[in-house]
């Protein structure tokens, strides 16, 4: 029966066609904007996160302001994970970067009395450098081997702190100087998040970012183009670990304490979950993921024991139903429309 | 044996195959000849059912949407929506392009993996048969497949497809990347295979010169459309084919 229908070549089939919106084509190619609406189309996706992030501290209550701090920190860690992922390094140990930053800031504040405005930038650089040096020998490893090493190192460092009792041992270092005001805390981390998001997105879109992405796709071809792959990987590693170290250093001054929990597995796993739910490869997806997962985890606190089950179910449903990630999906709907056409 | 009716394949908005009709009779060697981007591999994926898997994967990750229209009939049965693994059980086996072998396993292990669904005596029998067909392989049977040369890998890939004793063998660009001498070895093996077993073969290729003499029927495909068809001899004598593919 079906064959009979198909025998003629002009049989009517319908298929859904996906087409870039006109404004998308104009703005990404010839850049001829002709109306306020078109300018808004371009500006809105950039302005909404900026305005949103700057307004949020003003409208949220004290409890949710603390959650926002946590969201921003996890978003930074997720961005750091995403940069590594885009350079072909799947890290399972963002806690290493976070912990290195946290301990560096804590030690310099506790033993030498450096103020937060010195320790935070200093710890970002030094923490990043130490993490990079620790991971330098494993840069030549690919895939799961690199991941395993990054997973193990923070767990090892916890035991080292415990066994040698350096930097306060299991007690940690307390009495760290806090940041001068709550508002400064909020706007420092939100500003850093926005800066990292837009800055590193631009970086990954530049020729430099292209090289990093090419290393992920085919490192031998990149070597063949006369580029030292390991030098570029080391740079990407330093950038990613400096972001993580900044988040750690910041949190040390927020909690006024640094101890073994900074190497906890949470700081390694949650950023990956955020990046996967939001959509890896864009940095914006990682940020969006953190903005969904961290508050969700807070909301579910009221449920008690089943919290982790529901949280896990949410993750599984998202990963199965929308494997491309929320950000990719939204981006596609924003730039393209669909219509039925006859073939 | 195999009938393709009004096949159309879209990759998102790009039309890869446009209204293609092909007929393959039992025991024939049929050539699908076309240059790069003619739609040969897409046709082979549609015939083997791999396109169904590609369609599902692309849809899930929000990539290009693949749409297939038209019918594929195998022995009178509509298999357009039949899954690739079921098609293998029906006897349609594809040997994909660029010699897809398991590089970390030995030659013998590769052949055993390919025959996983068959009974042990049958597999051993088939392996012997493959070694007969390609005399270069037995010497290499303990060698890791990844260390074989391109030609040897191609022989192994065809051998792997033959292990399950297909009724219809689909060869996607089997001569790709081979030297003229090696191309002749593969072509001779296919001709020998047909003579010995009466198997039906669909071979897609851009090198017309070695393929045309051995095929019973050929289809010339350009930009996803059928432009010419005929017996191997007719195509070889065609002046347009001569100028386009032989450069004379």
The residues near A173 (Cβ < 8 Å, ≥ 6 apart) are: A106, A107, A110, A167, A257, A258, A259
3-class DSSP state of A29: helix
Q: How far does B150 lie from chain A, in Å, by closest CA? A: 20
Q: What is the DSSP letter of B106?
A: B
3-class DSSP state of A230: helix
The CA distance from B66 to A115, in Å, is: 59
Q: Which of A9, A17, A329 sits opposite B6 (nearest CB)?
A: A9
Cα A340 to chain centroid distance, Å, stands at 37
The residues near A330 (Cβ < 8 Å, ≥ 6 apart) are: none
| Residue matched to tokens 């007969």 | B132
The CA distance from A258 to A168, in Å, is: 9
Q: Where are the alpha helices (DSSP H) in B61-149?
A: 84-90, 107-114, 120-133
For residue B21, list chain A residues with Cβ-Cβ distance below 8 A: none
Encode pLDDT of B106-146 as tens digits. Answer: 999 999 988 888 888 888 999 998 998 888 899 998 999 99
The CA distance from A72 to A274, in Å, is: 12
- Residue B24 tokens, joined: 């393959």
Q: Print the SS3 string covering B132-180.
A: HHCCCCHHHCCCEHHHCCHHHHHHHHHHHHHHCCCCEEEEECCCCCCCH
Stated pTM of the model: 0.83
For residue B62, list chain A residues with Cβ-Cβ distance below 8 A: 323-324, 328-329, 332
What is the ipTM metric for this complex?
0.71
For residue A6, list chain B residues with Cβ-Cβ distance below 8 A: 5-6, 69-71
Q: What angle do CA A79, A81, A85 make, to 5 degrees?
A: 115
pLDDT in tens, chain A (343 residues): 344 444 444 557 888 888 888 888 777 766 776 788 888 888 889 999 999 999 998 998 889 999 999 999 999 999 999 999 999 999 998 999 999 999 999 999 999 989 999 999 999 999 999 999 999 998 888 778 889 999 999 999 888 988 888 888 778 888 888 888 889 999 999 999 999 999 999 999 999 999 999 999 988 888 988 889 999 999 999 999 999 999 999 999 999 888 888 888 888 888 999 998 998 889 999 999 999 999 988 888 878 778 788 888 888 888 888 888 899 989 988 988 888 888 7
Q: Which of B8, B62, B71 sits opposite A2 (nearest CB)?
A: B71
Chosen for mutation from B62, B67, B224, B226 (greatest number of chain A CBs closer than 10 Å) is B62
Q: Does B65 touch chain A (CB under 8 A)?
A: yes
């Amino acid at each position: 029966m079906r064959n009979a229908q198909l025998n003629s070549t002009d049989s009517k089939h319908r298929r859904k066609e996906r087409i870039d919106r006109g404004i998308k084509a104009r703005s990404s190619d010839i850049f001829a904007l002709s109306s306020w609406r078109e300018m808004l189309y371009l500006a809105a996706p950039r302005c909404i996160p900026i305005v949103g992030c700057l307004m949020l501290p003003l409208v949220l209550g004290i409890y949710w302001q603390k959650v926002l701090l946590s969201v921003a920190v996890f978003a930074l860690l997720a961005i750091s994970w995403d940069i590594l992922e885009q350079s072909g390094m799947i890290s399972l140990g963002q806690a290493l970067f976070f912990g290195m930053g946290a301990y560096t800031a804590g030690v310099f504040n506790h033993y030498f009395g450096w103020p937060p405005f010195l320790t935070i930038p200093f710890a970002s650089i030094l923490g990043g450098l130490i993490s990079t040096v620790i991971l330098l020998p494993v840069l030549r490893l690919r895939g799961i081997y690199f991941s395993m090493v990054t997973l193990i190192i923070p767990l090892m460092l916890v035991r080292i702190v415990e066994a040698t009792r350096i930097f306060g041992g299991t007690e940690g270092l307390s009495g760290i100087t806090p940041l001068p005001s709550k508002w400064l805390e909020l706007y420092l981390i939100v500003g850093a998040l926005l800066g990292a998001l837009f800055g590193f997105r631009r970086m990954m879109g530049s020729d430099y970012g292209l090289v990093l992405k090419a290393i992920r796709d085919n490192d031998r071809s990149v070597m063949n183009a006369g580029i030292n792959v390991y030098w570029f990987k080391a740079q990407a590693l330093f950038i990613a670990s400096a972001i993580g170290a900044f988040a750690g250093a910041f949190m040390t001054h927020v909690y006024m304490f640094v101890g073994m929990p900074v190497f906890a597995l949470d700081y390694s796993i949650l950023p990956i979950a955020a990046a996967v739910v939001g959509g890896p490869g864009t940095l914006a997806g990682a940020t969006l993921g953190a903005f969904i997962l961290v508050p969700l985890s807070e909301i579910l606190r009221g449920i008690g024991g089943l919290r982790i089950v529901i949280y896990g179910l949410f993750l599984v449903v998202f990963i199965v139903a929308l494997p491309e990630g929320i950000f990719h999906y939204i981006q596609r709907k924003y730039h393209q429309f669909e219509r039925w056409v006859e073939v | 044996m195999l009938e393709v009716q009004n096949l159309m394949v879209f990759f998102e908005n790009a039309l890869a195959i446009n209204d293609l009709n092909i007929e393959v009779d039992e025991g024939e060697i049929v050539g699908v000849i076309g240059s790069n981007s003619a739609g040969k591999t897409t046709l082979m994926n549609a015939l083997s059912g791999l396109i169904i898997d590609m369609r599902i994967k692309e849809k899930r990750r929000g990539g290009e949407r693949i749409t297939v229209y038209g019918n594929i009939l195998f022995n009178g049965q509509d298999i357009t929506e039949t899954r690739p693994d079921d098609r293998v059980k029906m006897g349609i086996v594809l040997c994909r392009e660029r010699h897809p072998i398991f590089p970390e396993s030995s030659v013998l292990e590769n052949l055993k993996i390919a025959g996983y669904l068959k009974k042990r005596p049958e597999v051993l029998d088939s392996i012997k048969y493959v070694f007969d067909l390609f005399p270069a392989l037995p010497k290499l049977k303990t060698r890791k497949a990844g260390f074989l040369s391109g030609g040897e890998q191609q022989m192994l890939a065809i051998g792997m497809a033959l292990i399950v004793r297909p009724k219809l063998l689909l060869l996607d660009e089997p001569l790709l990347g081979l030297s003229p001498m090696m191309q002749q070895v593969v072509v001779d093996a296919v001709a020998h295979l047909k003579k010995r077993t009466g198997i039906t073969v669909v071979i897609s290729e851009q090198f017309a010169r070695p393929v045309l003499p051995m095929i019973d029927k050929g289809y010339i495909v350009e930009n996803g459309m059928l432009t010419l068809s005929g017996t191997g001899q007719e195509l070889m004598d065609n002046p347009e084919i001569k100028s386009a593919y032989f450069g004379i």
